[in-house]
A = this chain, B = another copy of it.
Amino acid sequence: MTPPPTLEFWFEFASTYSYPAAMRIAGLAKARGIALRWRPFLLGPLFKASGWTTSPFNIYPAKGRYMWRDLARICDALDLPFVVPPNFPQHTILAARIALVGLTQDWGEDFCRAVYRVQFAEGRDIGDRAALDDILRNLGQDAGTIVAQAQSDAIKALLRSQTEEAAAHGIFGAPSFVTADGELFWGNDRLEAALDWAKRH
């Protein structure tokens, strides 16, 4: 039997356009018979290498104003609830580490979707430990145990190496999609093209 085509989904929890991508990707991949690999990483170190100490949407106000409006239109068209979160970008390192724990178990993808929903649909701060605890509890997990695992040296090292791997793929923003033959696609608006490429090659 031929293995199914695969696609890597590279995302950062603070990334605005990763929200619609994260909510759409599982259904679209399933419909095409594509196996997904969810790969959280951190944009901060990549941005730092570009000389940015915050999101370019904050550094370039016209671009930021446009992004929030564009994202509201996109979510509206997809019937996804959306609010501009109270602070941006949020601290995502603990959420990303927890995601890495969850993705080795069976609740990782649900956790990722919940983090985006809590931030961009409910307007909470995912840098706030209480928000992450609530998400874990809703998934039937013991928050204390999971957070302790997430803060282990092994998971910290894994997140660092995922971020280095992202840079090695040529990734500079999120969401990004990488096919088995190394083709890179960037942006929620390239999700369908990435899936089609993964299917064809």
Which A residues are closer than 8 A to B by beta carbons? 50, 60, 62-63, 65-66, 69-70, 73, 77, 167, 170-173, 184-187, 189-190, 193
- Residue ID in chain B nearest A172 by CB atoms: B62
Question: What B residues does A77 contact at CB under 8 A?
Answer: 193
Could you tell me if A73 and B170 are in contact, using CB atoms closer than 8 angstroms? no
Once the chains bind, are B172 and A63 in contact (CB under 8 Å)?
A: yes
B189 touches A62 (CB 8 A): no
Which of B65, B172, B187, B189 touches A170 (beta carbons < 8 Å)?
B65
A126 to B: closest C-beta gap in Å: 26
Copies in the complex: 2
Q: Give chain B nearest CB distance to A175 CB in angstroms.
A: 13
A69 in contact with B189 given A60-B172, A62-B172, A172-B60 (CB within 8 Å) = no
Knowing A50-B60, A189-B189, say if A172 contacts B66 (CB, 8 Å): yes
How many angstroms between the C-alpha atoms of A190 and B172 in the bound complex? 21
Residue of B nearest to A46 (CB): B62
A73 touches B186 (CB 8 A): no
CB distance from A176 to the nearest CB of B (A): 9
A50 / chain B contacts, CB cutoff of 8 Å? 60
